[in-house]
Structure 1
């Protein structure tokens, strides 16, 4: 069974977050009070999607992500699967590059590589949750995983 595995835990409030871009001119992303509440959650959420037929599994462990997904993220069918697949390919490539540079990027944020094959059809649900996790991750930790500003 192929696995896409993304496991992140609670980070200390005092953890130094290293900026993901060398540029000092980042556009500020507006964060609503409801979104801030999701980011401040301490209880771990675990979202697992698995399918033996397609031989994949995705595990996302992140406090507040499930709440954010249900209350903040765009609803299902807002984005097409092809749109999310193309963004996920960019996000995964950039995320994996940062995982391989633990002296430059915080290894508490970039813990392990994600095995996302561009020619595999993971289906809408996996792409939806992975795409939204990357948006959540970028907004919560003020990171950039591509040339786009992470907006909701």
Structure 2
């Protein structure tokens, strides 16, 4: 019974922290907010980005700079520097927590992934560095 009260209070707290403002995001781009999965795909370029991270949707919708704040060139340059550092950490499980760095990110700098992919990837690095207190050589700021 005691655990039920704690769970109910926690659920009430989370519910009361919700924003009353409505934000318009492309419904095809952000999928299934319940399990915090963001999926973007482009069949013509044969790429797909899937971000499964608890709290990432909240971060994108509430704390991240809005779409259009950064130029695509800025985001691409940041991602060109952050992805190799992240991938290097994936290959060094003895030095970096293997529970945080699970999979390599296949990001080819010579491919134009478009604004949305670069925006979400960069913001994933910002979220990741803040949430897990990880510091990259290239600062991730908002």
TM-score calculated relative to the size of structure 2: 0.74
Match for residue 111 of structure 2? 120
CA separation in 1, counterparts of 2:50 and 2:84? Answer: 18
SS at match of 1:83: helix
Largest Rg, 1 or 2:
2
Q: CA deviation at 1:135?
A: 0.3
Measured against aligned partners, the alpha-carbon deviations of 1:19-70 in whole angstroms (never above 9, x if no partner) come to: xxxxxxxxxxxxxxxxxx8xxxxx6300000011121000000011011100
Q: Find out whether 1:75 has 2:66 as its counterpart.
A: yes
Contact 1:88–1:127 (CA under 8 A) maintained in structure 2:
yes
Q: Find out whether 1:146 has 2:137 as its counterpart.
A: yes
Match for residue 10 of structure 1? none
Q: Find out whether 1:100 has 2:91 as its counterpart.
A: yes
Which structure features the higher share of helix residues?
A: 2
CA separation in 2, counterparts of 1:97 and 1:59? Answer: 20
Among 18, 36, 42, the residue aligned to 1:45: 36
SS at match of 2:49: strand
Measured against aligned partners, the alpha-carbon deviations of 1:82-114 in whole angstroms (never above 9, x if no partner) come to: 100010111101000000000110000000111
Measured against aligned partners, the alpha-carbon deviations of 1:122-142 in whole angstroms (never above 9, x if no partner) come to: 000000000000000001111
Q: Which runs of 5+ in 2 are unaligned?
A: 1-16, 18-33
Among 78, 102, 107, the residue aligned to 1:87: 78
Match for residue 56 of structure 1? 47
Contact 1:46–1:59 (CA under 8 A) maintained in structure 2:
yes
CA RMSD of aligned residues (A): 1.3
